Structures are given as C-alpha cells and as structure tokens.
Homo-oligomer: A and B are copies of this chain.
Amino acid sequence: MALIVHKYGGTSMGSTERIRNVARRVAKWARAGRRMVVVPSAMSGETNRLLALAKELQPDLPDAASLREIDAIAATGEQVSVGLLALALHREGVPAVSYAGWQVPVQTDSAFGKARIGHIEGARVRADLDAGKVVIVTGFQGLDPQGNVTTLGRGGSDTSAVAVAAALGADECLIYTDVDGVYTTDPRIVPEARRLHTISFEEMLEMASLGSKVLQIRSVEFAGKYRVPTRVLSSFTPWDIPLDEEARSGTLITFEEDEKMEQAVVSGIAFNRDEAKITILGVPDKPGIAFQILGPVADANIDIDVIIQNVSRDGRTDFSFTVHRNDYARTMELLKGQVAPAIGATELLGDPKICKVSIVGIGMRSHVGVASRMFRTLSEEGINIQMISTSEIKTSVVIDEKYMELAVRALHKAFDLELDKAVGSV
C-alpha cells in the first residue's frame, strides 16, 4: 500500500470547520487504501499570537535561555492543531493518533528558532500505520539532544513534512498550499504565466531561493537530498473531488531527468524585490579581503545573497553584494564604522531600491546563448543591468526596482513561457 504524507498550512487549519474539511480529505485518502501521515501547521494566527505574548514579557533581544523558552511556547501551536485534527478524524470514524515532535522523536540540533532536523525515528509511526491508523505529526518542531523543544523557523512545517516522508520512505509528499502549483512566474505580474506540471528539483531550489515563496527552501533541499517525490497542490479544491484528479493536480518536483522529452531551456522567471545592493569601491586586491568585508556582516547575522567581485585594476577592485532590504541600514552602518576604514576602501555606495530577476532552467546547462538572450531582451526594454550573477541553471541580474514588472513580463515572453512547448512535461 502506498504511503502518502500530506502537509497542510495554517490557513487550511484556520478554524474548526476547516480542520473538519482537512479530516474529510485525509479520510478520503485513507479509505482509498493509502497509508497516511499528516503534518499540519498551527491554526493561522496562533504562532504569531504566542510569539507576541513572549515578546511582551521579554522585549529584550533574547539570549539562548530565552530563545529556548520562546521555542517551547511557539511549538504548542502545532501541538494543539495535531490533536484537533486527530479528533476530527475520530469523528469521521477514522482511527488516528497524533504526536508532538518530541514524541516521534524528530531529532534536531539545538539552534533554537532555526533548528535543523537530524534523524527522525520512524518505528513508532510505522507501528501505528501497520495498525491501520492515520498518524499526525506536528510540523515546525523537534527535540534537541538535551531534551529541549526546538523549532525550525518560519515555514518549517514544509521541511518537517518532507523530512518525515524521507524517514518513512513515503511514495509521495503532498504539500497543500494556497497556490495550485509552481508557475513559470508570478501570475499577478504576468497573467499568461502557466502552471508547470513538473519541475526538476534543481529548478525548484532556484525558484524557492530566488523568492518564489511556494515552498520553504530547506524543504526543497530535503526533498532533493532524500529524493522525496514532492507535490505542491491547492488546498482550495473541494475535499470531495475524485482522488485520482487530486493526485494528478499541482506541480510535482522530480529527480529523474526525462531524456525522452524535449527539455525546456528556461522553466521560469523568479524575482525578489526585497534586496538592497552595497558596493565598496577601491578595495585593495589581496588575499583575505572578501572575508574581512563579509565576516563582520555574517557575524551580525545578516544573510548575504549575491556577491560580485570583478577583476582588479591598479591593485584595487570593487566589491558588491546584496542583503535583505531590512538589513540594509544596519549593514551600511557596520561597513561605514568598522569595515571600510579597516581595509582602506575609497568609497561606500548603497542602493536599497533594487531588485533581482532570474531566469531558471535545467536546460540552460546545455544551451548556449540563453544568458545573452536575457541581456538582449532587457536592453531592448531600455533596462540597465547593474549586476550579473550566474549558476549552472540560473542567470540573475540586479536592476532598478522600478523596472521589475517590465523585466519579468519581457523575459516571460522572450523565453516563450506562455506556450505549451515550454513545459518540461505534461
């Protein structure tokens, strides 16, 4: 019998009526003979409510001791929702049992608030599945080696679901979300955007990391590492649509490259408008300089995205990178006060009004001219490219924020993404 993992977000669990519908959907799968594991999020708003209470009592920047408490508090949201879903299944006449992360256990490291999953012990869950029960496991949380409750950070339930699917060797992990799949780009910007029936793991990884917020990036990494067939599909379909139809809907993340099919050159256009650009001019070009600049930034817990350093002239070079826009002021201050004087840079420039637009496609590996087509398209629209960064399956450019929609639309058209021929598979 196929073993299936379902993951439901906070919106799907947002009220007792919605939880009842989740139970009915799960019951449909269980009655069709599937062995079912379900990973629900907390009821929508609940995690925020709990974190707000914590913040009221400890408004200071939390130290390790406080972070531990905040995790224990936040983790209760999912502990309530798994119990409620189990009760709703009982009411449907379906045997079901729920477990908190510590009960499975889902073992993690001790990085409170952003813990990483190590091992998941599957014995208890398997015994319940063998006994014919639906097993419900909390998302978002685990147990560290010292017996403390940890949380995985926002969106962590996606990762929990994929990790549980990997640990149990599930046949498929279905992530029910408020979108009905992965699109060639955001349909709010390009109405012709088309849903992909499949997307390769690598492409999905780039789409997720580039700001297409369908799945948490770590869940995609997990899916890739353990080759878990993972499907993104809509939670808004009626619970009683035929199971076959539901099982084929959404977008499936695949791991086998299908040789027989014409590989699309570009699968999608991703973008991110939450970035800011910082450039340090006249940096002495000598070993260790990148670390001298970025070390203090990383120490301040600021994530860095694109990093660009071009060849030097006259022993000096220009060094650019991007950070999240929320970290822009803090990063500039840090560089002005400490870093730039220390390394003897001549000037510090910053621009928070930029965005990043990327073309993503596994086909780029074997197709020359993809990047140049991208640059030509932007040039024809009169859009100046400020930075370029490439990987095997994506090409990203940093441009003025005001051109973002224009760039995305032009690229979507230039790479024929609105047409069926662009699809990896159907």
Contacts and interface: CB of A to CB of B under 8 A. Distances in A.
Interface of A: 16, 19-20, 23, 50, 53-54, 56-60, 62-63, 65-66, 68-70, 72-73, 76, 79-80, 82-84, 86-88, 90-91, 95-98, 100, 102-103, 147-149
> Which of A70, A82, A87, A147 has most B Cβ within 10 Å?
A87
What are the 10 tightest A-B residue pairs by CB atom distance, in nearest-first order?
A: A58-B87, A73-B83, A76-B76, A16-B56, A69-B83, A57-B87, A57-B88, A69-B86, A72-B83, A66-B90
A90 B90 CA distance: 41
Contact of A90 (B20, B65, B102): B65
Given A73-B79, A79-B73, A86-B69, A57 B91 contact: yes
15 contacts: A16-B53, A16-B56, A54-B84, A57-B84, A57-B87, A58-B88, A60-B91, A63-B90, A65-B95, A66-B87, A66-B90, A72-B79, A73-B79, A79-B79, A100-B149
A182 B60 CA distance: 41
B147 A103 contact: yes
Contacts of A70: 83, 87
Contacts of A73: 79-80, 83-84, 87
A96 B58 CA distance: 13
A57 B16 contact: yes
A95 to B, nearest CB: 7
Nearest to A148: B103
Contacts of A72: 79, 82-83, 98, 100
Nearest to A49: B80
A100 B148 CA distance: 10
A73 B70 CA distance: 18
Given A68-B97, A79-B73, A53 B84 contact: yes
Nearest to A55: B87
B16 A58 contact: no
